[in-house]
Every structure is written in C-alpha cells, then in structure tokens.
Chain A
Amino acid sequence: MKLAVVVQRYGANINGGAELHARYIAEHLAHHADVDVVTTCALDYVTWRNELPRGREVVHGLTVHRFPVDRERNVKLFARRSTQVFEQPHSHDDELAWLESEGPTSRALVKFLRSKREAYDFFLFFSYRYYHSFHGIHAVGSRALLVPTAERDEVIGLSVFGPVFRGVRALMYNSPEERAMIAAATSNDDVPGVVVGIGSEVPPRPDPMRFRAKYGINGRFAIYVGRIDENKGCRELFEFFLRYARARRASLTLVLIGQAVLEVPNDPRIKHLGFLSDDDKFDAIAAADLLIMPSYFESLSMVALEAWALGRPVLANGRCEVLKGQCIRSNAGLFYETYEEFAEALRSIADNALLAEALGMNGRVFYRLHYDWPVIERKYLAMLESLKVEDAAGTPAREVAPLPGWLARRRRVLPPARDILAQIPTGPVLS
C-alpha cells in the first residue's frame, strides 16, 4: 500500500501538536506501508515563511516532498477576514478568502497532489482548517482520509468545510468529543470514522532521580508541560496555584516545562525550566506527583496521555470537554472549573497517596488499551484495509461536493460561524 501524509509543516524538530501527530503516524505506518510525506517549506506556523529548501528530503527514513508557500500570512488581513466570517453574515467567497489568508497557500503542493492522485492508494490529510487540506482534498477526491485535529472554535462553523467532512473517504478522530462536534456541525454521520488519537514515544524506564539531581528539584511537585500561554490557561493556573499554596501553606511546587509566551510569576513555588529534551521531559513527568492541564481547548492532550502512560494522575481544566471526557473515561484524572474545585481536587490528589496511585494505575491501563502504538497502528490499518476492500468491490466512491457556482458563492447568506458554534452541543461524551 502506498500512502501520502499531507501536513502543513514537517520536520524532526517541529513539535506542534498536529505536526508531531503527523510525523508519529507517518513513521509508524511506514512499518506496514510505503509512506511519503507532502508538506511545505515553512517552519513558522504564524508567518508560513519558506525556511526549508524545496524538493525532496529524507527525514527519519521517510521521503518528504516540500513545496514553497506562495505568500506569507498577512496577519492584519487574516484578523479582519476572521472577524468578518466569524462574527458577521458573509458569503462563500468570504470564507474562501479567509482560507487563503490563513494559509499556508501553496498552489504547487495542490498541483503535485492532483498530478499524483493515481500514484498513491490513499492520502492522509492532517488539520482540516488549513489551505493544504481543503484544496488538497478537493484535488485527490475519493482517496482522501482526514485527521481533522479539530478544536471547539469558530472555524468548525464555516460552511466551506461541510462538504469536506462529508466527502472524504474516512475520518480519524482524536476523541469522541471531536467526533460528536464535527458530526453536529456538518452532519457527516454516514462517513466512516474511528476515534484513534495518537500514541507517544514514552521511554520504558524514565529516571526521576536523574531529573531531580540535574535541575535541583526537591520535594513534591505538580508539573505543567507545554507552551506557557494565556490561551493554554496558564494565567488561570498561576492564579489558582498561588492562591492554593498561600491558603494551605502547601509544600507542593509547580514546575513548568516549555517555552514561555506569558510572564511566569516570580514566586519560589513556581519553577520554570524552559524547553527540555524528551528524555528530561519524561523523567520530569515521572518525578512529578501529578500533571496539571489548564488548557481550555484541546483536540487531544498528548501530554496528559504521556502522564497516564507513566502512571501519573492528571488534574485537567473541566471547561475543556475533551480533557474532561478523557478524565472520566479513563478514571485517571480529576478536573476543575472554579478555584474551589481546583483547590479541592489538587488537595485530594496531593494529600491522598492512595487516590493518586489509583488514578495513575487507571491512566496506565487506559493508555495501554487505547493509545499504545500497536493499538493505533491496528486502527489505521483496519480502516485502510476496509477502504481497499470497498475499492476492490467496486463500491461507488464518495466524492467531495464541488464548490457552489459563481453567483451562489457571492451571496452573503451564510450566518456568522460563532452562531453555528453556539448551536453545537457541548460536554464530554461518556457513552
């Protein structure tokens, strides 16, 4: 079987969620199929500036085809168009213009996909919201599978994506919440789909003491791993944690790992270690008492899965329905929506070793059952095989509906995406 993984950025040092997801999947599927990667020359997801050479390259044994981005993102234009399509009635053309301004606009990449449509059995597109996925799926038609990595934001309310979700051959979801949200927004229930998620390269024997010795961390601590950003809920985390520490005179410290976009409070109970290597990161998680995930929007928290893989309990933001759903389904984490809940849940995990251990053990089992690499690979291969069987049986392939006509595209009859998003049911999927 010959597969192409199509993603907006690709590289051994690119650690964005969807990009890392794509790399892991490509590398693991390469054990079972002939896999190529199709991507852009961009490194920065804000500007999409061409920083890598175009052409072919081999990354971790896989052939990567890189295509230049036509133009960098104009941030002001993108913001203006976002306001237009998210908050005002607009036309189909307005949404297409928004997509162009979001990028990464690479006509060469789309042209390559169109020309190689017959060369690959299937194309796996990552991240539905970008130019390469929308136009790439239109280019390859019935050979497209989509890994949406969708979050609960206004983009899901844009009308242009409805035909994409209804027209691809199959969807590989990250979580049941993501699947429910996409089904509610686009009515794509008849499209084959499976909740897969992603595994992680968790070392079998992390060394917590090595981490403590290397970074001088003594005593008990909670850990946060990820970009330290307000959008990730870090400001609220700092506020809640310091309030908790002051109120309870707790000996627990908070260790932060990741690049800081937000200013970290100058307090001895909060320690920022910056960006760490994977080995150090896993050692740190193994040394921690618990992992805190304060993010409001996640399609799948890899860090939470890694903590569970290492037998550590998780305290998650309950306003993120995916995290809340994962905590409930796994029975491996508590969640909070207010400070009171944060304090009580943190106290429960930190002060009750038996509870922390039980949650950690459940997490380990949950990871092994659902997110271990053999499980993930099996789900992907089963889906691809079933599609191959469909093709062999001559089942009429599903195609993406073409764009509306010239006049229809210009009618400003589409409601604001925010209104569509507001109508989508919320909450974790527990069944």
Chain B
Amino acid sequence: MADFNIRTDAVDVEQIMRQIRARIREKRGVDYTEEQIQELASVKLEKFLDPKGVRSDLVEQFRRQRSGGPPPPTYAFEENTLFDSSRAPVRFIRRMLKPILKLFFNPTTLTDVLHRQATINQIYLQRTDNRDELDALYYEVIHNLVLETTRLGIEVKNLKMRVESLSSRLDFDERRARALEGVVQYRPSGAISRDRGRPQSSLQPAAAAGPQAVPGQPSAGPVDTEHPENQPARRRRRRRRGRRGRGGTPAVTNGGATQPGSAEARPFENGEVAASQAEPDDSTPDPEPDGPDGGPFSTDQ
C-alpha cells in the first residue's frame, strides 16, 4: 500500500495528516449507499415539507418557554392614590393630615416617581407584547430558512449524486465506444452491408433472427428447437467465445469454428485500417444491433 509519497529526507507530517483527514472525509462520504442517502433525504424532506410541520406548535412552546408565565398586572398611580380609600371618612382624614405628613417627607416626589414608573411599566408591557409577536415571526422566518436550506442541501446532494452517476455512465459509454471502435473494421460494402448488396447466403441466419434485432430483446424469428446450436443467442455466445479466444482478432465463425482465412478477416491480414474507427457510414456495419460483441460478426454463417 503506497498511501503517501515518502522520501526519507522530506516527510511532512502536517501534509500527511491533511491527507489522512481528507481520506477520512472521503470515507465518511461513501459510508452511505445511494439508496441510504435517498432514503435519508426523502425522510428529511417529508419531515420538513409537511405543512403541519411548518405550522407546528413549536412557536407556542417557544413562547411558553420564553415568557415564563403571564406578566403581573400593571397599575395606575395618580396624585391622590397615596391618600385614596374606599371609605370616605378615612379619605377625609388623610386629606386633612396631608399638610402634617408633608412636614416629615415630600410625598409629591414619591407620587411623581411612582406615576412615571407605572407609565414606564405600561410602555414595556406593550413592547413585550409586540416583541412576542415579532419573536414568533422571527422564529417562523428562521424556521422557514432552515427548511429551505435543508431542502437545498438535500437537493445539492441529489444533484451531486446525479452528476456522479452521469459522469460514470459517460465514462462507461466512452470506454464502450472505444472498445467498439477497436473491433469495427473496414469491409467491402458488397460483402458486409446488411441492408444493401449483402449476398443472400450470408443474410439467411440474420433474416431468421429478424433484420432489426435490438439488443436485449428476444428475437422475433423462428427458433430451431431440434438443432439448438442454430438458435441466435447460442450462436452469439459462441461467436463471443471465439472472438475472445482470439484476442479480439476478427474472424468468421462457422458453426462455432473460426475461419481465419475468411473474407472478414482479410482487411486485418492485409494491414488495412478499419474504416469505421472515426465515423461509421453506410458501408460499415452498425455494431449496435448485436451489442458490443456484435458488429461485423453478425453476418456470419
């Protein structure tokens, strides 16, 4: 295992630790399979996108926790509040004694201060009420922001995964195209064209399998049950084996036996470059109908 580029005279521990941390991050990233991530994402989406979830009682809980019970009642404090009474005689006596009381201290200042305090309390209560409403609004805004951010995060993850999937498919397709280009070669149009000028004898098995055979779909043509070796699928398998056995060298098979000296093998033998490597035209066989292993060998027998 060669994790790091090590030279004994130039080991950088910090660099190694950075690599270790990067590897840990990578590992964490692939700890989840795609299905798990999708499941996780969908669970979160359901949870957060549920309208009831958005308008939940969290706001109420938030308020309850914050307020800690209703505020005490406020009061009014006027000039005569200190000397007021529900009973008229008491009220009268107090008013009579007021000048004497003023000899001991100044009740006017006290009244003034308490009056102001009552006004301040009133204002603060009003502000607190407004604050609660604002808090609820803020909470909702933050809640929605969190929701949207979460959704965006999950969408980004999904998109990333999709991009990765697409790029891997693209890679596969490119590799496949290159592989196909490697096995496609030039043949004289009269000998290889499937649709035009193909000799009848070589067309016969292909016609039995159907001229428009699509990969992955069963052949629509008749199947020879008495001679299973004549079945198209089996023939294809034999062809593949034969070709693999020859390391990809094109050859014409006949009943499973390779014939190196056949007409299709000649272009290679003659050292000619395959004409279809750059862009296939009508004169070159389309590899698609027989899949990656098809192509020029579909016209055998």
Give A contacts to B, CB under 8 Å. 327-328, 330-335, 340-341, 344-345, 348, 351-352, 354-355, 357-359, 361-362
11 contacts between A and B (CB under 8 A): A327-B13, A328-B14, A331-B13, A332-B13, A334-B16, A345-B20, A351-B1, A352-B3, A352-B4, A354-B6, A358-B8
Contact B13 A358 (CB under 8 A): no
A362 to B8, CA, bound (A): 8
A344 to B7, CA, bound (A): 20
In the bound complex, residues from chain B placing their C-beta under 8 Å from that of A359 are: 11, 13
Is B244's CB within 8 Å of the partner chain A?
A: no
Give B contacts to A, CB under 8 Å. 1-4, 6-8, 11-14, 16-17, 20-21, 23-24, 27-28
Contact A335 B2 (CB under 8 A): no
7 further A-B contacts with Cβ under 8 Å, apart from A327-B13, A344-B24, A352-B6, are A334-B20, A335-B13, A340-B27, A341-B24, A352-B1, A354-B6, A359-B13
In the bound complex, residues from chain A placing their C-beta under 8 Å from that of B8 are: 354, 357-358, 361-362
Contacts A355-B11, A362-B11: A344 and B20 contacting too (C-beta < 8 A)?
yes
Contact A355 B12 (CB under 8 A): no
The smallest beta-carbon distance between B14 and chain A, in angstroms, is: 6
In the bound complex, residues from chain A placing their C-beta under 8 Å from that of B13 are: 327-328, 330-335, 359
Top 10 A-B residue pairs of the complex, sorted by shortest distance between their CB atoms = A358-B8, A344-B20, A358-B11, A354-B6, A340-B24, A331-B13, A331-B11, A355-B6, A358-B6, A351-B1
Contact A344 B23 (CB under 8 A): yes
In the bound complex, residues from chain A placing their C-beta under 8 Å from that of B11 are: 331, 355, 358-359, 362
A359 to B17, CA, bound (A): 13
What residue in chain B is nearest A352 (Cβ atoms)? B3
In the bound complex, residues from chain B placing their C-beta under 8 Å from that of A348 are: 3-4, 16, 20
In the bound complex, residues from chain A placing their C-beta under 8 Å from that of B7 are: 358
A contacts with B: majority SS = helix
A334 to B12, CA, bound (A): 10
Contact B12 A331 (CB under 8 A): yes
The smallest beta-carbon distance between A246 and chain B, in angstroms, is: 17
In the bound complex, residues from chain A placing their C-beta under 8 Å from that of B23 are: 344
The smallest beta-carbon distance between A430 and chain B, in angstroms, is: 8
Contacts A334-B20, A344-B20, A345-B20: A355 and B4 contacting too (C-beta < 8 A)?
yes
The smallest beta-carbon distance between B68 and chain A, in angstroms, is: 28
What residue in chain A is nearest B25 (Cβ atoms)? A340
The smallest beta-carbon distance between B5 and chain A, in angstroms, is: 10
The smallest beta-carbon distance between A291 and chain B, in angstroms, is: 15
A213 to B130, CA, bound (A): 82
In the bound complex, residues from chain B placing their C-beta under 8 Å from that of A330 are: 13
In the bound complex, residues from chain A placing their C-beta under 8 Å from that of B2 are: 352, 354
In the bound complex, residues from chain B placing their C-beta under 8 Å from that of A341 are: 17, 20-21, 24
In the bound complex, residues from chain A placing their C-beta under 8 Å from that of B17 are: 334-335, 341, 345
What residue in chain B is nearest A362 (Cβ atoms)? B11
What residue in chain A is nearest B16 (Cβ atoms)? A334
In the bound complex, residues from chain B placing their C-beta under 8 Å from that of A361 are: 8
The smallest beta-carbon distance between A34 and chain B, in angstroms, is: 43
